[in-house]
Copies of this chain bind each other. A is one copy, B any other.
Amino acid sequence: MKKQQSTSALSNAAGTPPQDNVSATSSQRIRQLRKKTPEAQQLAEQIIAGNKTALSRGITFIESQQAKHQYIAAQLIEYCLPKANKSIRIGITGVPGVGKSTFIEAFGNLLITQDKKVAVLAVDPTSSVTKGSILGDKTRMETLVKEQDAFIRPSASGETLGGVARKTRESIILCEAAGFDHILIETVGVGQSETAVHSMTDFFLLLKLAGAGDELQGIKRGIIEMADAIIINKADGDNQKKAAQAKSEFQRALHLYPTKNTGWTPQVALCSALENTGIDNVYELILSYLDLTKENGYFEQKRRDQNKFWLLQTIEEHLKRNFYQHPDIKKELPLQLQLIEEGKTTPFVAATFLLKLKDN
């Protein structure tokens, strides 16, 4: 922190080149700093060729905590980045029981009949507690999982939200490079993971059931504000009347929220994932959204804003990991927490001690 070094990566760039060149120089510098390994290059080529086994292995590198693996992951991302960015990223949330897996299965199969390639990822920081509540059981998407043009990846577990979100975002890049043009990102509608998923997707879809209040559905109010569409699932059999009623209620409720700067009015629609009805309508909704926002420039602007957000997130996640993974900190932090528990030190004294420890 207090170290002032006379040389820095910047000091080579004396005379401040114009911004375009700064970018080139930055990338060049990073490439020089990071030696390529043949393993990473080969794997990246397989991923870009659309090999799903290679894609799986690549994501495993991204999810690994080992420094050696993270080094390979960083190279993979660099190789894949020029091929990425060419997909539609759709966030899907809803509490357990709302039928997310069935919906994704039906929606994914629809996309595949339209010659699309579908990757399904999950952000589920709680899965370490709930032992993989979402996507954990692949068999719940039994037909989709067998499709050549589908790729389903259960969520990484035992992680902080920041860690899971970063890994999912990096996995998106690999999926896109592998040619998947529709990325579905599932999460459970009960925590802050929605904000993370919202910040990495183009379209955010909230699944609901008819006849259950917000409290019962455990959905936080903020999540409704994020939704580009609310889909009422299980609108079948005896449920149809209730579902239609719920639809008008949500439409009324959405009017209470301010207009989004997308120019898009969030839509409410009915479907039955089980009976495969209304799914095509959901896709049409998404296509209208894309038409609108690609024309008015919001689509690109949102991705740029997300990129800025992710720049800061990536930095902060790195700073924290760098600190907490330091051997001295790993050894001393639990002791300091214990001392706080016993009332023998204070957060300020302990923080100062730990920060000095890492500085030295």
Q: Which residues of B contact A347 (CB under 8 A)?
A: 307-308, 310-311, 313-314
Most B-side CB within 10 Å, residue of A313, A338, A340, A341: A340
In contact, A8 and B360 (Cβ under 8 angstroms): yes
Given A29-B353, A318-B355, A337 contacting B311 (CB threshold 8 A):
yes
In contact, A26 and B331 (Cβ under 8 angstroms): no
Given A337-B308, A346-B81, A323 contacting B331 (CB threshold 8 A):
no
A113 at the interface (CB under 8 A from B): no
Q: Which residues of B contact A256 (CB under 8 A)?
A: 215
User: Quick one: which of B173, B221, B307, B323 contacts A340, CB cutoff 8 A?
Assistant: B307
Q: Which residues of B contact A20 (CB under 8 A)?
A: 344
Chain A interface extent, by class: 35 or more
Given A335-B19, A338-B19, A315 contacting B351 (CB threshold 8 A):
yes
Q: How far is the CA of A37 from the CA of B109 in the complex (A)?
A: 71
User: Quick one: which of B9, B313, B343, B345 contacts A356, CB cutoff 8 A?
Assistant: B9
A339 at the interface (CB under 8 A from B): yes
Task: With CB as the reference atom, state the residue of chain B lying closest to A355.
Answer: B318
A138 at the interface (CB under 8 A from B): no
A157 at the interface (CB under 8 A from B): no
Q: How far is the CA of A319 from the CA of B321 in the complex (A)?
A: 11
A78 at the interface (CB under 8 A from B): yes
In contact, A323 and B332 (Cβ under 8 angstroms): no
Q: Mark A293-330, 1 if CB is under 8 A from B, else 0.
A: 00000001000100110110111101110110000100
Secondary structure of the A contact surface, majority rule: helix
User: Quick one: which of B8, B222, B307, B340 contacts A346, CB cutoff 8 A?
Assistant: B307
A130 at the interface (CB under 8 A from B): no
In contact, A350 and B319 (Cβ under 8 angstroms): no
In contact, B316 and A320 (Cβ under 8 angstroms): yes
A51 at the interface (CB under 8 A from B): no
Q: How far is the CA of A358 from the CA of B349 in the complex (A)?
A: 26
- Taking the closest CB of chain B, its distance from the CB of A212, in whole angstroms, is 12
Q: Which residues of B contact A78 (CB under 8 A)?
A: 348-349
A129 at the interface (CB under 8 A from B): no
Q: How far is the CA of A342 from the CA of B23 in the complex (A)?
A: 11
Q: Which 3 A-B pairs have the closest CB atoms?
A: A314-B351, A310-B347, A311-B347
27 contacts between A and B (CB under 8 A): A1-B318, A1-B322, A5-B360, A9-B328, A9-B357, A9-B360, A10-B331, A19-B335, A19-B338, A22-B335, A23-B339, A26-B345, A26-B353, A30-B356, A34-B352, A74-B352, A78-B349, A81-B346, A170-B348, A304-B340, A308-B337, A310-B347, A311-B340, A313-B347, A315-B351, A316-B319, A319-B323
